[in-house]
Chain A
Amino acid sequence: MRPDRRPELPWGTRLAGRSRPHFRWKRKLVAMTYPDFSEPASLREWMESIPHQRAIGFELVDIGAGFAVGRIPYRPVLVGNPASGVVHGGIVTTLLDTVGGMAALARQGEFLVMATLDLRIDYLRPSTPGEDLSGRVECYKLTRNVAFTRGFAFNADPDDPLASMSATYMLNTPAARSSPRTHAKP
């Protein structure tokens, strides 16, 4: 957190652990800005409020125990090769990055601030021109700091994948925030 965003405290105020005002302030920020995870409608509304998701027409199709499914309807602006009408690989990256993040949230069961650490995509075949792009990603391991995900992108048939992905995300979990430092300061 940037120091200039911290709420003003009277000089000499001593408060312990998680009850310190800036923690409460931070939790309040999350509650204000991020959706209630138990409400799929609120989640969809939040996804649509993100400018890039709206621009590409991303839809959250399903979200459950440790997995998420998303879809991007076919649109001519997403095409990478005008002669064949195949969508660009970059849009597959965007889809799987987004769905992977949602899968990590689904496994945690609450909203978390996270950042993609790395993302690998293997292109198995070209996307079929004119068909929607879907992605299903599962989060198969969640630690205090890292979410490990893997998944596939496909057109209509989930058994005929067009790309596979594996990605890791750094998480800002309550456990990571409250855990003692493992590396001692010199």
Chain B
Amino acid sequence: MTNGTPAETGLEAIVLEARRVRDFARITDAIPYARFLGIDVDVKGDEITTCMRYRDELIGNPVLPALHGGTLGALLEHAAIFELLWTEEVKPLPKTINITVEYLRSARPRDTFARAEITKRGRRVANVYATAWQDRRDRPMAQAHAHFLLR
């Protein structure tokens, strides 16, 4: 979630520089909440996979145990924003209008991965679909549909 103040050109400049040198770590390092969740991004060609490294602080149900549902939602939102930042010329930064998260399975205490795909990019709004999985990509833990305001 961002607002339209001129101060945010800082992150925009980081995004442009990261795209130029093709180093995604510059973006994740600049976002405190992404560092807090342990998120890093694997870039292969034009495909990016967002990874949330397992840490004990992500546990939401110590009995099962399972990751907190909110962390999965946050991971999916990160994946959707990163997909827009990396593959589309978006300026200013996209603002989340809404996100719908569907939880399919409980997430085990392991690394979690997410990938997003832009269903439609309009002039003002982009529709993005994201899925998160752990061991097998055909067994997703959660999926999300989100709308982003692009200007």
**A-side interface residues toward B, CB under 8 Å?**
29, 33, 49-55, 76-84, 86-95, 97-98, 115-123, 126-127
Contacts and interface: CB of A to CB of B under 8 A. Distances in A.
Contacts of B25: none
Interface size class of B (residues with CB under 8 A): 35 or more
Given A77-B33, A89-B77, A94-B69, 18 more contacts: A51-B59, A52-B58, A52-B67, A52-B68, A76-B32, A80-B31, A82-B31, A83-B8, A84-B2, A88-B77, A89-B96, A90-B71, A93-B74, A115-B106, A118-B103, A119-B73, A120-B99, A122-B98
6 smallest beta-carbon distances between A and B, as pairs: A90-B74, A94-B70, A93-B73, A83-B10, A88-B33, A55-B57
B78 interface: yes
B74 A88 contact: yes
Nearest to B97: A123
Contact of A52 (B7, B8, B70): B70
Nearest to A83: B10
Contacts of B101: 93, 116, 118-121
A91 B33 contact: yes
Interface of B: 1-3, 5, 7-11, 30-37, 56-63, 67-71, 73-75, 77-78, 93, 95-103, 106
Q: Select the residue from B9, B30, B32, B62 with max chain A CB neighbours within 10 A.
A: B32
Contacts of A98: 68, 70
Contacts of A94: 68-71, 73-74
